[in-house]
Amino acid sequence: MKIATWNINSVRLRRNLVTRFLRAEQPDVLALQETKVVNDLFPAKPFAALGYVHQAIHGQKGYHGVALLSRLPFRESRSQEFCSNSDCRHIQVRFENGIELHDFYVPAGGDIPDPKRNPKFAHKLDFLREMCGFFESRGNRGDALVLLGDLNVAPLEHDVWSHRQLLDVVSHTPVETALLGDVKASFEWIDVTRRFVPENEKIFSWWSYRAVDWAASDRGRRLDHIWVSPALGSALRSQAIVKKMRGWKLASDHVPVVAELAL
């Protein structure tokens, strides 16, 4: 089972990039974030034409939004509201093979890392706390679960281009990394990328549009993640971050993260 996650930063604007990726990588499931479109206007047909006929979509006009494209049938889909806010940041499905998959788009948090001065940052911290409680409340740690998406936190020292310079920058502050650590501990999640890539090796999935030459400067952050529950740990076979796609014409500032499991 090959699973991918990608913050597409407008699925209608980058529809052709999605189809190009689906043809090239052939994932069984692609989770998208920041789709920025209401459900009725989601470009479902070109993806279905490539075999991704099973789709779960949770979107709104112009902002946020998540979606799942799958070649594999699923039994059910639903979404969960976090922070009593209907801003389309989560969708989950259960596949016929029993795997439950959760697609998240965690709030970015704005620019000021102070919840008293910045409501967006306060929202992000509350969202992470509720994510933790959401999975802590599940009884059976033996279930086969996948959590993925744009979690908007680079948790480890080498998940950013400069740990020292980014400690007070939103996405890598100690309060955010600690809260994401709590989410990770809430279901004993396995970080798939770091299962294969040593923690002392720098690896990123996002590069700012502000960089004049993103590839030369390589000032990235690892904001996009795939986690699996312990029940799926032994099934992990590979991971990849498709960095070359940041250089595609009209690229998103994020690139896909891919994981393969032998089931």
Q: Domains in the chain, ordered, with CATH? A: 2-261 (3.60.10.10)
Distance CA 208, CA 246 (A): 10
**Reported pTM:** 0.97
The CA-atom distances, in angstroms, between 65 and each of 82, 155, 172, 256 are 13, 23, 23, 17
Q: What is the pLDDT of residue 125?
A: 98
Q: Which of 98, 101, 79 is nearest to 88 (CA)?
A: 79
H/E segment holding residue 147: strand 145-150
Sheet holding 145-150, edge to edge: 74-78, 90-95, 100-105, 145-150, 224-228, 190-191
Exposed, middle or buried by CB within 10 Å (0-12, 13-18, 19+), for 176?
buried
Q: What is the pLDDT of residue 128?
A: 98
Cα 109 to chain centroid, rounded:
15
Q: Which residues pair with 118 in a beta bridge?
A: none
Q: What is the pLDDT of residue 212?
A: 86
Q: What is the pLDDT of residue 138?
A: 82
Distance CA 64, CA 144 (A): 27
Q: What are phi and psi of 164, to 5 degrees?
A: -65, -45
H/E segment holding residue 214: helix 214-217
Question: Quick one: three-class SS letters along 227-252?
Answer: EECHHHHHHEEEEEECHHHHHCCCCC
The three-state secondary structure class of 152 is coil
End-to-end CA distance of the chain: 7
Q: Which two tokens stand for residue 162?
A: 């400069």
| Contact criterion met (CB below 8 Å) for 6 and 259 | no
Q: Which amino acid is at 246?
A: R
The CA-atom distances, in angstroms, between 234 and each of 81, 140, 195 are 32, 18, 11
Residue ranges of the chain whose pLDDT lies below 50: none
Distance CA 230, CA 191 (A): 10
Return the CA Rg of the chain: 17
